[in-house]
Amino acid sequence: MNDEKLMTLLHEFKQLGATSMGGVTRCVYDDNWSLAQKKYVAIANDYGLYCFCDKMGTIYAATSDHISHKPVILTGSHMDTVVNGGWLDGIYGVVSSVLAVGQLFQKFGTPKIPLCAVSFSEEEGSRFDATFTGSRYLTHQLDDAVFNLKDRTGATFNQERQNRVTELRQVTPIGIPDFKIRSYIELHIEQGNTLDQSPANIAVVTDIVGQKRLLITTKGISNHAGTTQMSGRVDAMRKAVDLMTKIYSSLELMKGLRFTIGKIIAFPNVANVIPEKVDIALDIRHIDQNVLDQAFEQVTQIINAVGATYRLTTNVVATPMDYQLQQQVIRSTKQEKLVGERLFSGAGHDAQVIANSKAPSVMIFVPSQNGVSHVPQENTAEFDLLAGQRVLKRVLYDLAYCS
């Protein structure tokens, strides 16, 4: 019955942003995002949980009405997706955690330590050039510049945020999340192929990679593609190509570094106009913060040498997960008669942001079939999805009812 509920809800949420290519696009503050956050409130209310929404549009669902200033056990993930992403990234942890908290509350009543499920407004950075805005707001790590950001259509973060929070106010009160986080537990798909190739069904995350994203800009002067001589041009694309070639040559030599140029936008982005500006998004990651810092140093030297500029849109350090909580996950995995292993995460997570605010945090991973994610083919076997949720529920029970 409970198992059926998880699968039914995951399929329902998949429809909120389903694309013609078989993926899901549910970016922060879009129509489907709003429907999904409202649906989350309805699910939480059904279990008698106490909901509120913060000024970013993050929803909290707790086992008691007044969690103000109390140390709570927080569990959840993010509601947004990348563009044409998979059906499980983020939402798997969001749905599993609210069901786990709701079902424990229904069965065992008020816990000794309050439990609170959370559906973070945004984590991916796929609409505005800022990431983890939900968990950064909660942990006082968000700087105000975010509110002035514009998406591709020119819509501002702040206006979109305000409109959606006003909508959410119709279904749940607005509040300030001023509780203390005693522990944070996030259930997520692995997104890589380690668990898929191992006999284990569950991984406890030991560390999360450090990640920096740069939005690099080259400048030129727009003019006619046919009448402007090659010799006299100031072409932002020519500079961008030169810059990217240098970045590839330099970073490819760094062992263990993962780097991606996944977004490039020319302005005005017209076939027969020389670009006056090119924006390039570069994402770099490493488990060793020193190597990441060194890669960043190299990239900024290249940027300066070609006369480009950049803005750092993501900057999270390599982060260890809490050791005690890791042990707790390992115990619960064994109690569920599942095989577990330890793993580091190459993906960034809200758990990392929360851990950096000094709150003990941990993650539970389930396998991703063929190690694919951020694409429509992203999938996890039903057995594994259910197993992950059982482990999460057991961890929450032990921490909230037995300590």
Long-range contacts of 127-131 (CB under 8 A, 24+ apart): 127/27, 127/28, 127/29, 127/30, 127/80, 127/151, 128/28, 128/157, 129/213, 129/215, 129/281, 129/311, 129/313, 130/157, 130/313, 130/314, 131/213, 131/313, 131/314, 131/348
User: In this chain, which stretch among 123-131, 138-146, 248-256, 388-396 interacts with ligand 1AL, using CB under 6 A?
Assistant: 123-131
Residue 123 within binding range of ligand 1AL, rule CB under 6 A? yes
Nearest distance from residue 299's CB to ligand 1AL, in Å?
A: 18
Nearest distance from residue 123's CB to Zn ion, in Å?
A: 6
Give the angle subtended at the CA of 54 by the CAs of 53 and 60, to the nearest 5°. 50
Instruction: Please give the residues from 50 up to 89 whose contact with ligand 1AL meets the rule CB under 6 A.
Output: 89
Q: Which is nearer to ligand 1AL, 125 or 177 (CB)?
A: 125
Q: Which is nearer to ligand 1AL, 111 or 125 (CB)?
A: 125
Query: What is the identity of the amino acid at 203?
Result: A
Binding mask 68-97 for Zn ion (x = CB under 5 A): ---------------------xx-------
CB atoms within 10 A of CB 357: 15
- Count of chain residues binding Zn ion (CB under 5 A): 2
Instruction: Please give the residues from 188 up to 227 whose contact with Zn ion meets the rule CB under 5 A.
Output: none
Residue 124 within binding range of ligand 1AL, rule CB under 6 A? yes
Q: Which is nearer to Zn ion, 50 or 259 (CB)?
A: 259
Nearest distance from residue 13's CB to ligand 1AL, in Å?
A: 16
Residue 191, sorted as left (phi over 0), alpha (psi -120 to 50) or beta, turns out to be left
The Cα–Cα gap between 53 and 113 comes to 21
Which one of 127, 212, 286, 349 is in contact with ligand 1AL (CB under 6 A)?
Answer: 349
Torsion angle, alpha carbons of 50, 139, 261, 278, to 10: 100
Residue 186 within binding range of ligand 1AL, rule CB under 6 A? no
Tokens standing for residue 250: 């330099």
Residue 348 within binding range of ligand 1AL, rule CB under 6 A? yes
For tokens 């975010």, the residue is 146
Residue 125 within binding range of ligand 1AL, rule CB under 6 A? yes
Q: Which is nearer to Zn ion, 63 or 368 (CB)?
A: 368
Q: Where are the alpha helices (DSSP H) in 252-288?
A: none
- Count of chain residues binding ligand 1AL (CB under 6 A): 11
Residue 127 within binding range of ligand 1AL, rule CB under 6 A? no
For tokens 């995951």, the residue is 10
Instruction: Give the CA diameter of the chain.
Output: 77
Residue 131 within binding range of ligand 1AL, rule CB under 6 A? yes
Q: Which is nearer to Zn ion, 82 or 243 (CB)?
A: 82
Q: Give residues in contact with ligand 1AL (CB under 6 A).
A: 89, 123-125, 131-132, 191, 211, 347-349
